[in-house]
Every structure is written in C-alpha cells, then in structure tokens.
C-alpha cells in the first residue's frame, strides 16, 4: 500500500475517532498533525502524435464504412439472386 494511501486511511480513521470526542467547531487535531498528502499533478499535457497503425479514429471510421458497404452489397446480392448469402457461397 502506498504511503499516500496509508496516510489517507489513517487520517480518516483518526478523524472519525476524534470527531466523536471533540466539538466540531474546533479545528481538528488530526488536521493540525497530519496534512493531506496529494500526489503531484503534471502541469503540462504531453502532445502525442496520433498512431499510424491500430485503433485510431481514421482506421475505425474506414472499418465502419467498409462494413456498411459490405452489408448493403450482401442485401443486394440476396435480392438479385433470390437466394441467401450462404446459398450463393455454396455453403447450403
């Protein structure tokens, strides 16, 4: 378990115990003793080139268009021949 997570868990546990016994209007003893440690956040977002291969926007768009064209062609073949695509391929 990371140090930050351990400190957060301990702080939460101590806060629950302390709040049972203290007036809520006072500053918590836990807040004074254990400040919350947050991991540093990057200040600059890196500029990455889009991938040339794999799952990128262009490849997915092209794949979707090819699937739509293939589906329409399959329907046209079935309509023109009067047979299903399996019969046309000789599998039935």
CB 46: neighbour CB atoms within 10 A? 5
- Each domain of the chain, given as residue ranges in start order, spans 1-34, 67-92
pLDDT of residue 69: 98
**CA atoms of 83 and 75, how far apart (whole Å):** 10
* pLDDT recorded at residue 41: 82
- Tell me the C-alpha distance between 91 and 64, whole Å: 26
Mean pLDDT, range 26-32, rounded to an integer: 64
pLDDT at residue 22 tops 60: no
pLDDT in tens, 54-68: 888 888 999 999 999
Cα separation of 9 and 28, whole Å? 16
DSSP letter (8 states) at residue 24: T
Largest Cα–Cα distance in the chain?
A: 84
């Amino acid at each position: 378990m990371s140090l930050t997570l351990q400190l957060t868990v301990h702080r939460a546990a101590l806060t629950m115990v302390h709040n049972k016994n203290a007036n809520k209007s006072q500053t918590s003893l836990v807040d004074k003793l254990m400040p919350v440690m947050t991991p540093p956040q990057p200040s600059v977002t890196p500029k990455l080139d889009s991938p040339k291969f794999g799952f990128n926007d262009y490849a997915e768009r092209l794949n979707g268009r090819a699937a739509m064209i293939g589906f329409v062609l399959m329907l046209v073949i079935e309509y023109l021949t009067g047979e299903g695509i399996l019969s046309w391929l000789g599998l039935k």
